[in-house]
Amino acid sequence: MGKNLKKAFITNLGILTIVFVVILGFHKSCFGSDSGDAKDEMNQKLIQRIEQLEKKIEDLTGAQEKPVVTVPDEIVRGKVEAILMEKEGHGGFMQMPKIRGFIDTTYNYNFNKPASQTTKLGTPGTTTAGSNLSSYVTKANDITFNTAHIAFNGLLKEGIGYTIEVDAGSDANVNTPTSGSGSADDFDLQEAYLTASLFDTGVNLKVGKFVTLEGIEVIESPLNPTISRGYLYGLAEPFTHVGFLLSRELPIKGLELRAGLVNGWDVLSDNNDRKTFLGGLGINYGDLATGGLSVYYGPEQANNGKNDRTSIDLTVFTKPMPKLTIGLQGNWGREDGIGSGTDHWQGYGVQPVYQLTDKFSLAGRVEYMKNKGGSRFGNSGGEITNFAITPGYKLNDSTTARVEYRHDMGNKDFFEGENGGVFDKDSANQLLAEVFYTF
């Protein structure tokens, strides 16, 4: 990491930490702690019923020891949902799906006033634009309709689960796979997959189209700490895959083994003659740490099955206190056949979110990325870092408004200014606003 960017990364992290410490102290003195949530009556009845059944089993088996069988949470939820659906008179081949969604709109102002009115990384001293600085919010001084998102989740007979998620809007244009679907458009079938438990092996299967295993940030904006996305989300990770993923809990409590094969990064049909392997470990230790270690390996270049791309990502969420969640990410990657050799990239990010009250939240991001050859930046390569602070306020149970200040800087002139579209600035400042409605 360059000396200036390293200093900037540490400085921004320090600023973000101080902001959160001050807010935490103010909130504790002003608001105190919240009382626990009331327990749902139906859940209590189910728990009591389970305890009664366990007692009957103990009476029948006596002191005889039986092997311990761990049932995945997904299967337990599925069985409980199936029982509830039967009680509500919705039994049959397919239960009524759960439907959820959101509508998201943003505004972005770039203080550099780029001549092209876009916010991208570029080749210093030229008018050649490269990758989007933030995956979705790229148009400067523009009100953007990002997404109308709708998702369906439910169970088929025999415990087979299904998920279908659809996006319409400018975000879909970014996510549309680049192979097998023609050109990108404003509609995207984000996910469509089935889940099932394979016999009595404890192995769970996911098959179809599903999102990446990597990273803090996700496609759905309301689930992210900040309005804009960071470098790692858009430049170091894939969005979606088509293929299958197997998972199984390990004897070591809190760990899950994952492995699968997919066509590749952000493609519907494979663009070469080899598949991409994905796998790793899922981590679930409650508030202490949840997340995963993910590994991707396989060729991603069109019509070339020899040049492999590798990505290793560690993402962990920790909750050191009831209202504070911190996302931590480290990512390393490389790809063969870039120019005359191999390109490398690496990055780190910290994203805290503090829920001051039921309505008011404060989030932030400090992130650094280095791309040696520039294949991920879309330019000659270098180092960049960003700092973002994002307060949010719930206007009602369904509507949230957020604003964000974001500062980016590089070790080269990667940012466009007013000078005829030339990339001649080593930093950029943006102000963003967002309103989203969830249902």
CB 300 within 8 A of CB 265: yes
- Give the pLDDT of residue 319: 98
Q: State how far the Cα of 172 lies from the Cα of 189, in Å rounded to an integer.
A: 8
- Give the pLDDT of residue 245: 98
Task: Kindly report, residue by residue over 361-419, the tens digit of the pLDDT.
Answer: 999 999 999 999 999 999 999 999 999 999 999 999 999 999 999 999 999 999 999 98
Termini Cα distance of the chain: 43
- Give the pLDDT of residue 60: 55
Taking phi over 0 as left and psi of -120 to 50 as alpha, with beta for the rest, 112 belongs to: alpha
Radius of gyration in angstroms for the set of CA atoms belonging to the chain, rounded to a whole number: 24
Q: State how far the Cα of 73 lies from the Cα of 77, in Å rounded to an integer.
A: 6
- Give the pLDDT of residue 46: 56
**Amino acid identity of 129?**
A
- Superfamily classification of domain 3-31+40-438: Porin (2.40.160.10)
CB 198 within 8 A of CB 207: no
Identify the three-state secondary structure at position 10: helix
CB 145 within 8 A of CB 105: yes
Taking phi over 0 as left and psi of -120 to 50 as alpha, with beta for the rest, 202 belongs to: left
Task: Kindly report, residue by residue over 115-159, the tens digit of the pLDDT.
Answer: 999 999 999 999 999 999 999 988 899 999 999 999 999 999 888
Residue ranges in the chain whose pLDDT is less than 50: 22, 24, 26, 28-39, 63-71, 87-91, 180-182
CB 177 within 8 A of CB 221: no
Say how many C-beta atoms besides its own lie within 10 A of residue 118's C-beta.
17
CB 363 within 8 A of CB 226: yes
- Give the pLDDT of residue 249: 97
CB 259 within 8 A of CB 265: no
**Amino acid identity of 401?**
A
Pairing between strand 290-299 and 308-321? antiparallel
Residue 147, class by beta-carbon neighbours within 10 Å (0-12 exposed, 13-18 middle, 19+ buried)? buried
Q: State how far the Cα of 265 lies from the Cα of 288, in Å rounded to an integer.
A: 31
Q: Please state the separation of Cα 321 from the chain's center in Å.
A: 22
Residue 37, class by beta-carbon neighbours within 10 Å (0-12 exposed, 13-18 middle, 19+ buried)? exposed
Say how many C-beta atoms besides its own lie within 10 A of residue 358's C-beta.
10
The torsion of the CA quartet 211, 217, 218, 224, rounded to 10 degrees, works out to 160
